Amino acid sequence: MPRTAADIEKLLEAEPKLSQASCQELCDEQANDFDILDNLQDFPANKRAQVRASILRSLQAIRLELKQQKCPPCNE
């Protein structure tokens, strides 16, 4: 069953705060976000833009945290 944007928002909110995450956890979260972006067709057409915007905000936060923690580049 496809997840709605509200489901994704709830999942993102339930995640630990990024400042408490290790570099590996941040890389894993980034990989999960990219996976969601790669599978946007799984969401209803009228929700894709909202899901995409949520994931892009998450990716920006992750990249900032990776930089602040001086993490090595993630293996993609």
Q: Is residue 76 part of a domain?
A: no
Residue 29 has pLDDT above 70, yes or no: yes
Structural domains of the chain, count: 1
Asked whether the CA dihedral 29, 31, 32, 37 is positive or negative, the reply is positive
pLDDT: which is higher, 4 or 59: 59
Domain-embedded: residue 73:
no
In this structure, is residue 15 part of a structural domain? Answer: no
The reply to whether 41 falls in a domain is: yes
Average pLDDT over residues 35-56: 93
Q: Is residue 16 domain-resident?
A: no
Domain interval for residue 39: 5-9+22-68
Band (18; pLDDT cuts 50, 70, 90): very low
d(CA 54, CA 12): 9
At residue 9, the pLDDT reads: 76
Q: Does a structural domain hold residue 17?
A: no
Write down the pTM of the prediction: 0.69
